[in-house]
Amino acid sequence: MTGTTETTAPTRIDPVDYEIFAHRLWAIGEEGRIVLQRVTASPIVAQGGECMCSFYDVGGTMILACSGHLRFASATSDAIRRMIEWFDDDPGIHEGDEFIINDPYVAGSHTYDVMQIAPIFHVGRRVGWIASSSHTSDTGGVLRGAATEIFHEGIRILGLKIVEGGIFRQDVFKTIVEQCRDPHYVGMDIKSRTAANVVCARGYASLIEQFGIDFVQAAGAKLIADAEAMARRKLASIPNGTWRSRIYGSARNHATRASDPYQVICTATKRGDELELDFAGSSDQLTSDQNSTLPSTTAHVAIALTNQLFWDVPWSDGRLAPVRIIVPEGSALNCRFPAACGRSPRIGQYVVEAVRECLTKMLFAAGHDDDINASWGAFWYLGGPGFFYGGHNRRGLPNPQGLYDIHGGGLGAAPTRDGVPTGGQMNIPSGGISDVERVELQYPFLYFSRNHAVDGGGAGRWNGGTGSARLLMVHGSQDLSVDYAPYAGLPHGAFGLFGGYPVGTGGLRAILEPAAGFRQMLADGSYPADATEATADEIARVSLPPEGSGRVPVPEGHLLSDFTQGGGGYGDPLDREAEAVVRDVRRHVVSRRSADVIYGVVLDEQGSLDAAATDARRVTIRAERRTGVRSAMSATAGSPTDAAPDGPLLRFHETLEIVGTGANAAVRCRRCGEGLGPATDNYKRYALRRDRPLDELAGRAMPDGSAYRAVLREYACPGCATLLQVDVWCASLGGEEDLWDIRIDR
């Protein structure tokens, strides 16, 4: 699949008027988004920011997307083209019409992504489109976690006129909302999108009035053409080569009721000013609802490209024109109808991270250091209670389903700084998390804490930002249920960069049953500050419900503990300043145990740095790394310890460089000069490799006592023992053991 543009920009256009037009169009879209957030009934939209307003040319090519949930804008291009194909003749597309659509096999990620699309007319001629999109937590159907096919996931609309000739259609409106648990809730979401479209249409008409229709269409075409040109220039600045990534996830198998791991494989090949992204090798279609349709996968690729590579390019479809996307049909990333896909955004996030890992290493090789971050989506395990709730609150109203603290996850580390704790989420540049008091108003919960998770970010010379951890109690509901998955002991969505750990090991995901004296403890004015305190002091214990349909009841008074994603680390943790680790411990973002085991930093009884013990500990850790083995055999690939020849340099890695050209090009450690094989081979085969068990790093077992299913695989320089890369490896899924992640054409 290749990005295409429908129009050609004019050769000349007044640059001042063009800049005014572009900024005005953005402002109009932002005004529409703000109106949508003020009218909606959805907490995820009003507070979380899962919405978008965007503009399209007459053929459906996106001219500009404004701040909001990025996957909506790209998916809507497909929806508009389908609307034209299906309905242009019958029933016709007329002035004042507005279509509603939420079929994930046409556009979007799941039935909960709802788009309302309106044509723009000028003097009786269709000249463009506007769209408002947002997440609706309820579309009828079964609650999250129980679906095995798309028919379980509520009403699926391929395109209905919710507004016809400027008249809001009550018959369509009532038919939709009465299929949902809370008609008022869903109805306000529909009206919020309608209101946003009215605002955007009015603003677009003002641009036509000010500049004239010819200029407006020409300026829109120029935005598309400029985006393509800028995207091609960015790609041209990157060396040619191939980069690969492997991101893991897990999903509940409805037949075995166990957790099955899966993988997302991305191969990024860059030639000249074009980029190919191939997802061959990704896992087959799943039996759960965590599949992604092709439109969803494409939209998530657009998220990664927009945020990591083309952040400074206008957000139009032009930026995707140089990109070719290949997704095998029947895979979990291009599922066949009627596969369920209610959790498509989860595997979609792993698509984002798989693409981003390739992009970050590409950008490093090009010297674009300011554009680089490690993973933003890392969980060190998943399973237990999710965040989609069913039942009623203490006022008898249906729960608004999801609690989206994941919008405040930790951001990945960069080449010169730590990642931001609870800084956001890759999907939504303008997102947010719900205020605790508002959650308690709408849901049957009382919060005991929401803090930064200790050890929540990946370790490195620069640490990944930590996510949050929360502990809350069910209060005021007799029928609360939550989606529940078997525990999966492998990191999800995780990658670190150049020796940084891909994931932290902090937080507990579990339903906790309180001890007999818990109510009296609350009456006395005391409560646990976090899950560690609750379990260590035997205030509560982990409750393991019997495996069932994917949802479990949570009784009144029980506790819920979980954590959000953290960022990956950058660089060798032993290179982090010892005093910085001490500060991390004092700030409760790194534990004493991790300071010792991972960073080699020893604190005395007063919590101050023990410099002598730290020096000795770091020497010991480097010696442990030297016990690793190399997979390359000197008899067939040359001596991995021979220093590489002198010659032109290309730094493609924080610690590694390519020296020489042609057949003599080789990889060399920048620190010690150790050779790591020819440039035409995988440097990891010449590095020292050892596996680190997750229970060794975390210091505790899974909540249900099950074994971890993956390890962290460390690759170190044979000369100086600097960590070069830390991968997640799940042997049960197989594949290339030493994934060749970077191959530069020289």
Return the closest-CA partner of residue 448 out of 514, 391, 392: 514
Neighbouring C-alpha atoms within 13 Å toward the C-beta of 235: 23
What whole-number distance in Å separates Cα of residue 605 and Cα of residue 627?
31
- Asked whether 610 and 539 are in contact (CB, 8 A), the reply is no
- The alpha carbon of 458 is separated from its chain's Cα centroid by a whole number of angstroms, namely 16
Residue with tokens 């730290």: 614
Q: For a pLDDT cut of 70, what percent of the chain falls above it?
A: 96
3-state DSSP assignment of residue 723 = strand
| Angular region, 579: left φ>0, alpha ψ -120 to 50, beta rest | alpha
pLDDT band at 563 (very low <50, low <70, confident <90, very high): very high
Quote the pLDDT of residue 664.
86
Which pLDDT score is estimated for 431?
A: 84
The 10s digit of each residue's pLDDT in 125-171 is 999 999 999 999 899 999 888 899 999 999 999 999 999 999 999 99
Burial code of 583-603, b = ≥16 C-beta within 10 A, e = fewer? ebbeeebbbebbbbbbbbbbb
Q: Is the pLDDT of residue 10 over 80?
A: no
Region 463-492 average pLDDT? 95
Q: What whole-number distance in Å separates Cα of residue 455 and Cα of residue 699?
A: 11
Strand, coil or helix: what is 191?
Answer: helix
pTM: 0.95
* Confidence band of 94 (pLDDT split at 50, 70, 90): very high
Residue whose tokens read 């290179």? 575
Residue 11 reports pLDDT greater than 80: no
pLDDT class for 635, splitting at 50, 70, 90?
very low
User: Which pLDDT band holds residue 634 (cuts at 50, 70, 90)?
Assistant: very low
Domain segments of the chain: what residues? 15-230, 631-686
Element (H, E) at 192: helix 183-211
Distance CA 630, CA 641 (A): 11
Residue 636, pLDDT > 70, answer no
pLDDT at 461 exceeding the cut of 80: yes
Say what the pLDDT of residue 2 is.
Answer: 41
Least confident interval from 143-147, 258-262, 457-461: 143-147
User: What is the H or E stretch that residue 484 is in?
Assistant: strand 481-488
pLDDT above 90 covers a percentage of the chain that reads 85
Token pair in block for residue 600: 């080699």
Closest CA to 120 of 68, 60, 70, 161: 60
- Report residue 108: phi and psi, to 5°: 85, -175
Which residues touch 61 (CB under 8 Å, ≥6 apart)?
A: 4, 5, 6, 7, 77, 224, 316, 317, 318
Amino acid at 143: L
pLDDT greater at residue 48 or residue 230: 230
**How sure is the predictor about 625, in pLDDT bands with cuts at 50, 70 and 90?**
very high
Nearest CA-CA partner of 493 in 380, 608, 652: 380
Read off the pLDDT of each residue in 269-296 and give the average, rounded to a whole number: 97
On the CB side of 356, how many CA atoms lie within 13 Å of its CA?
34
CA–CA distance, 524 with 517 (Å, rounded to integer): 11
Q: What is the pLDDT of residues 95-123, one digit of tens each?
A: 999 999 999 999 889 999 999 999 999 99
Identify the helix (H) or strand (E) that includes residue 167.
Answer: strand 167-168
- Confidence class for position 633, pLDDT limits 50, 70, 90: low
pLDDT of amino acid 163: 98
pLDDT of residue 263: 98
**CA dist., res. 650 & res. 735, Å (int):** 29
Decide: residue 697, CB within 10 A, 0-12 exposed, 13-18 middle, 19+ buried: buried
pLDDT of residue 547 exceeding 80: no
The span from the CA of 259 to the CA of 706, in Å, is 11
3-class SS of residue 385: strand
Q: Which residue has the tokens 């042997």?
A: 731
Is 80 exceeded by the pLDDT of residue 639? no
pLDDT in tens, 353-399: 999 999 999 999 999 999 999 999 999 999 999 999 999 999 999 98
Helix or strand run (H / E) with residue 444: none
With contact defined as beta carbons under 8 Å apart, do 723 and 664 qualify?
no
Which helix (H) or strand (E) is 690 found in, with range? strand 688-693
- The pLDDT score that the predictor gives to residue 404 is 87
The alpha carbon of residue 62 and the mean position of all alpha carbons in its chain are separated, in whole angstroms, by 22
Tokens representing 707 are 């074994």
Distances (CA, A) of 396 to 163, 442, 477: 32, 11, 8
Tens of pLDDT, residue by residue over 650-698, are: 999 999 999 988 888 999 999 999 999 999 999 999 999 999 999 999 9
Omega cis (within 30) before 345: no
Tokens of 80: 């508009």
Q: Do 651 and 675 meet the contact criterion of CB atoms below 8 Å apart?
A: no
Confidence of residue 641 (pLDDT cuts 50, 70, 90): very low
Sheet bearing 559-563, strands edge to edge = 445-452, 468-474, 559-563, 510-514, 540-543
Query: Per the omega criterion (within 30 degrees of 0), is the bond before 400 cis?
Result: no
pLDDT of residue 271: 98
As a whole number, the mean pLDDT across the chain is 93
Residues 6+ apart with CB under 8 A from 620: 600
Over the stretch 310-341, which tens digit does the pLDDT of each residue have? 999 999 999 999 999 999 999 999 999 999 99
Q: How far apart are CA 148 and CA 255, in angstroms?
A: 10
The arrangement of strands across the sheet holding 62-65 comes to 62-65, 51-56, 125-135, 113-122, 98-101, 160-164, 167-168
Residues 6+ apart with CB under 8 A from 248: 261, 262, 263, 264, 350, 490, 491, 492, 493, 494, 710, 728, 730, 733
- SS3 of 547-592: the string is CCCCEEECCCCCEEEEECCECCCECCHHHCCHHHHHHHHHCCCCCH
Q: How far is residue 319 from each of residues 2, 85, 100, 137, 234, measured CA to CA in Å?
A: 11, 24, 26, 31, 10
pLDDT reading at 637 higher than 60: no
User: In which band, very low, low, confident or very high, does the pLDDT at 648 lie, cut at 50, 70 and 90?
Assistant: low
pLDDT tens, residue by residue, 578-592? 999 999 999 999 999
Is 542 within 8 Å of 703 (Cβ atoms)?
yes
